[in-house]
Every structure is written in structure tokens, then in C-alpha cells.
Amino acid sequence: MAHPAEDNDAADIVRDLVLGGVADPFPLYEQLREMGSGVHWSDVLGGWIVCRYDDVRSMVSRHDAFSNATFFDGAPGLHDPQDPEHRRFISMSSPQLIFQDPPVHTRIRSIFRSAFTKQSINKWRSAMEDAADEVLDRFRPGQEVDVMPHLAADIPVAVIASILGVPKDKWVQLREWSEAFGRTFDPGVHGQLRDQSIRRSLEMMDYLGDLVTQRRADPQDDLITLIATTKTDVGETLTHTEAVSQVTLLLAAGNDTTTSLIGSAVTILIDEPEVKHQLQEDPSLIPVAIEEMLRFDPPFHLNFRKAVHDTEYGGQQIKSGQMCFQVIAAANRDPRVFANPGVFNVTRDTSRHLAFSHGIHFCVGAPLARMEGAVVLRKILERFPDFTAGSEPPVRRTNNVLARGWHSRPVKL
């Protein structure tokens, strides 16, 4: 059991993380991880905070004890049941793979069994390289630019849109739609902004739904065709709504994950010039560096599950139905697993990091994100070998407890 003073201190730290506009969350993650047993109750989040590696890995792996069916327990499910647009959005959005438990999860995930293997994604490498080149062609050495709203955001949209099979004249619109959909996951978005975000998300879903219908009638060599036409492990294709929901998820998750990874990679190499030089001298180390970047500053800092039955972690009694938040960013810097975890070390063994979760809910698109990150980082190092910090300091997201990537990252290319 935790000491009452520790309970109060932990609650204050979580409150600061959620509401306090904290610029650098990592010192607070460390305090939470090392305080008491590393498991703390948060009134602000209405659930348990779990910070140590072994506990986090165990919790995200035990699908028999912790449910992913949390759509209506958080921001994604916030809606006005009297509003027909809201109701339609919920019906289209709730079937996403990340909010399902077996057997539904098993059935939906089975369509991806051959889509994201290392072998299958190699055919998309040239599309990634072309998309990266097209975006990077807009910039010149010595130019000062904020990486996040331009380079880091534009490349992932171009890549995932190309792989999905979205026509090029819709890519700019797709980015705007994707950003609106991402806002529906933010508990701070409500009122008119939530209404607007839901409305724009429905526009995207309707457009993607038309593409799903077209691909079923006329299959192409793209990811929408795979999702729309591949039979599941029970011998049937996904319903139209299920297919649109998975395409939407891949679009949004693919954008945000890789955008955050690019921002973190650029920041780390500015802060660690010797690592940057090392990668320029030996580009074969780039995939290894990507793994350390994912450990050091993962795209998503928190994950969440709901307890299916009463259980115990860190001496704390977790009741059935209570929400549990796994602090991936704290677990990835747990000194019990990673030596000198606050030091970026491109040669360390990062095979155990949890940036893509673990178990049956391990990120289905992880191989794609890894390849895209490596392709983009290599292109940046080749084209802009002397990039440095810009004239303004970088600013981290402070209003999103789940994803704390960079809001702005000025650089001189």
C-alpha cells in the first residue's frame, strides 16, 4: 500500500501532467514511476496510473483481464445522443480495431495478417521515397522552417494516402480531415469545436466509404482494396462500416505516429550531434536509431485499458470496470530494464521497448511506421546534413495527455 502522502503527491503530479501545461513531462514520469510502487490513483483521469515496465507490459498483454472496449469510456465516445450527426459518427467510428476485444478483434485483425509483414511493405518503399522527395523538394539548405506543420506532417499524409490509394488531388483535404478526426480523441474538445470536428470526420468517412465501394467493384493494388476485399479468419469480408472504420484508423494513426516520430528524431539529432554524425557516416545504423528514438520519446505516451475483474498491481486493489492508464513513456525509461534510460544510446538493445504496445494489440502498422521513419530520416540527413536548431525554441504539446509530441520544432536546414 502507498503512503497517504505519496498518494497526494502522485495525484498532484498527474494533475500537473493533465492540466498544468507541463513543457517537459519526463521528470514527472520518473517521479511517478519511482514513487511508492509506481501504481497511483488519479481523480483527474478517473483511473489508475501504471508506470513501471513490468506492470505496463503485463497489463497491455493480459487481454483476459483488461479490456480494450473503452470507446465509450473516453473522449472518442463523447457525443450528443440527440444529434443525428453525432450518432452516425459514433456508429462509424466505434468499430475501430483498437477498441475491440476477442473474438471481434481477432476477426478484424486477421485481414492484416499479410499486409504489414516486412516482405509485403517493401513494395511500398518506393512510394515512401517519392512522397518524401516531393515534400523535401520544397525546402532549401539554410532555410529556417518549423518542421512540425510542414515537413513532419506533410510526408506521412502523402505516404499513407499513396499506400491507401487515395487520389493525389485529395491529399491536402485528407490532412485537414485527419486533423479533425484526431481532435475527436481529445477530451478538451467540446461544444462547437467537437461538432465541427465530427462533421468534418464524417465528410472523410463518407469519402473513404465511396472508395471502399469502388474497390469492391474494381480492386486495385492498394491498402483500401486489401481492407475491403480480404476475407477474415471466419471466411467473410468486413462490413462496409467496419472497413471504413479501419481505413480511418490507419489514416489517423499513421499520420500522428510518424509525424511525432519525425519531430522527435529531428530534435534528438539536434541535441545529440555526435549521433547525427554517426548516422551520416554509417546510414545502416538508421533503423537501429529509429528503435532507440521510439523508446526514448514514443509517439504515444499513454495507453489505456479497463479492468475486466478485480486484480492487484503494485499492492493496489484495482476493481472491475476501473480505467487503467499505462504510461508507456515512463516504462520505456525504467532503469530496471534499460541502463541509463535517460541517455540516448544508438547501440543499446531496444528490442523490449513498448512504443507499439505488446501482445495481441501490438500496433498492426508498426513495420510501416518503422520503414517510413527510416526512409524519411535518411532523406533528411542526405539533403540537409547541416541542419541545426532554429531561432525559436521547440514547443511540446501540453494539452494532450496521450500524445505529447512536438507542437513546433523550428530548424535551420
pLDDT in tens, 19-40: 878 889 999 999 999 999 999 9
Residue 282 binned pLDDT confidence (cut-offs 50, 70, 90): very high
Using the predicted structure, report yes or no on whether residue 399 has a pLDDT greater than 80: no
Average pLDDT of span 135-149: 94
Instruction: Give the percent of the chain with pLDDT over 90.
Output: 71
Q: What are phi and psi of 184, to 5 degrees?
A: -70, -15
Average pLDDT of span 325-351: 96
**Of 304 and 127, the one with more pLDDT:** 304
Alpha carbon 396 to its chain centroid, in Å, reads 15
Using the predicted structure, report yes or no on whether residue 345 has a pLDDT greater than 80: yes
Selection from 300, 307, 297, 303 nearest residue 341 by Cα: 297
Q: Mean pLDDT, the chain, as a whole number?
A: 92
Query: Residue 2: its pLDDT value, please?
Result: 52
Domain boundaries, the chain: 4-412
Q: How far is CA 134 from CA 80, 152, 279, 313, 317, in A?
A: 42, 13, 23, 49, 53
Q: pLDDT digit string (tens) for 76-109? A: 887 888 889 999 999 999 999 999 999 999 999 9
**Of 319 and 255, the one with more pLDDT:** 319
Using the predicted structure, report yes or no on whether residue 199 has a pLDDT greater than 70: yes
Using the predicted structure, report yes or no on whether residue 1 has a pLDDT greater than 60: no
Q: pLDDT digit string (tens) for 211-246? A: 999 999 999 989 999 999 999 999 999 999 999 999
Query: Residue 382: its pLDDT value, please?
Result: 96
Average pLDDT of span 346-367: 93
Residue 5 binned pLDDT confidence (cut-offs 50, 70, 90): low
Average pLDDT of span 366-370: 90
Q: Which CATH number fits domain 4-412: 3.30.420.10, 1.10.630.10, 3.30.420.40, 2.30.30.30?
A: 1.10.630.10
Q: pLDDT digit string (tens) for 27-76? A: 999 999 999 999 999 998 899 999 999 999 999 999 999 999 998 887 78
Average pLDDT of span 370-380: 94
Query: Residue 3: its pLDDT value, please?
Result: 60
What is the reported pTM?
0.93
Average pLDDT of span 152-176: 88
